[in-house]
Amino acid sequence: MSKQPIYLDYNATTPVDEQVLEEMLPYFTSKFGNASSVQHTFGWDAEEAIDISREKVAKSIGAKPSEIIFTSGATEAINLALFGSYNEGEKNHIITSKTEHKAVLDTCEELEKRGAKITYLKVDRNGIIDLNELKASISDQTLLVSIMSANNETGVLQPMDEIGEICKERNILLFSDATQALGKTPLNLEEANIDMAAFSAHKMYGPKGVGALYIGKQSNLQPQAFGGGHEKGLRSGTQNVPGIVGFGKACEVANNLIENEIERLSQLRDWLEKELLQLGSTTINGEKANRLSHVANVSFENVEGNKLMRALKGLAVSQGSACNSSVIEPSHVLKAMGLNDRLAYASLRISLGRQTTEEEVRKAVQIIRGSVEQLRMQLQ
């Protein structure tokens, strides 16, 4: 039987925390009620569990429980926020960035077909937008700005406080894909003047198939699914009670661990990067930006990218977003940061997590260094 690979792809997904699973299990069996069954105790128990989870999620982002709408994940939340904000015949301009997740970019592409005007802000070498370009892009027709809090490929954190101030001054809605930020960096959406934000439980040790949309002052959001009026009429469909319970517990657990995990993982990540840089002709993408503590995106010159992943036997890492992994093309994020196709291909996203040990990181460095050295020799 083959040995389990070292898992360093926590940005793609995370294992469900044991405390989360324990909290969820009764809602598959003894507490199986439908939260919409308001005539009996099974429904009441399910409704109460959802209310408690809504409070836990809200607490983790500095929001009110009434501002949380549960969805099937971040992609649905993003679609609800962007499509729900757009009304043909009214303001039709949306500003976003070239390094957004495909869930945002593909939604914006569809909105363009419906008449929306989309501005895609450039980023610098470290993946940060230019705040002056953002200001200059705003017009009387600007409806919404959509900027992700933390990039899924590089871990780069955008200056959301400053972006929030700009949007507040111009009375423009600010939406943020905060999927990778939740549970990994402190969040207070109200203080940051973020009006809407999307989240997904499976990125932070909760179950797959559940997420949320935070809605602050925005009250004119139009539903995109109909049939029952669940979640304040904004997301019809029977609520995923076990998933929602798991999401709430995952937020609670993350809140208790976040400070220690940031310190522990940043030390492991920094050591890993230092060791890989000793290879020479190696770049840490976004190195000079403020980043999530557990993510390293590393490019290796003089390496054939199509051979790199195959060479990393015993190691589970990625070359970009898990949601885009079926498409064999260089990362749009790295290309927007100025990397050419060849170097973007020869890049690895390494994301550490709660289960990552120092021994695993040391072993990973050995595997990567050995593989890169061997691939470079083949090109000589």
What pLDDT shows up at residue 223?
A: 81
What is the reported pLDDT for 2? 54
Spatial separation of the C-alpha atoms in residues 136 and 142, rounded to whole Å: 11
pLDDT at position 53 is 98
Instruction: Tell me which residue of 299, 294, 288, 289 sits closest to 267, measured CA to CA.
Output: 294
* pTM for the whole structure: 0.95
The single residue listed with the structure tokens 């960096």 is 185
pLDDT for 30 beyond 50: yes
pLDDT at 4 over 90: no
Residue 322 pLDDT > 70? no
pLDDT at 220: 81
Q: Which residues does the annotation mark as catalytic?
A: 323
* Whether the predicted pLDDT of 16 surpasses 50: yes
* Contact assessment for residue 265 and residue 352, using Cβ atoms and an 8 Å cutoff: yes
pLDDT tens profile 214-255: 999 766 899 888 888 899 879 989 999 999 999 999 999 999
Q: How many CA atoms lie within 13 A of 109 on its CB side?
A: 8
Phi, psi of 128 (to 5 degrees): -100, 135
Cα–Cα distances in angstroms (integers) from residue 45 to residues 41, 52, 283, 312, in the given order = 6, 11, 53, 48
pLDDT in tens, 253-302: 999 999 999 999 999 999 999 999 999 999 999 999 999 999 999 999 99
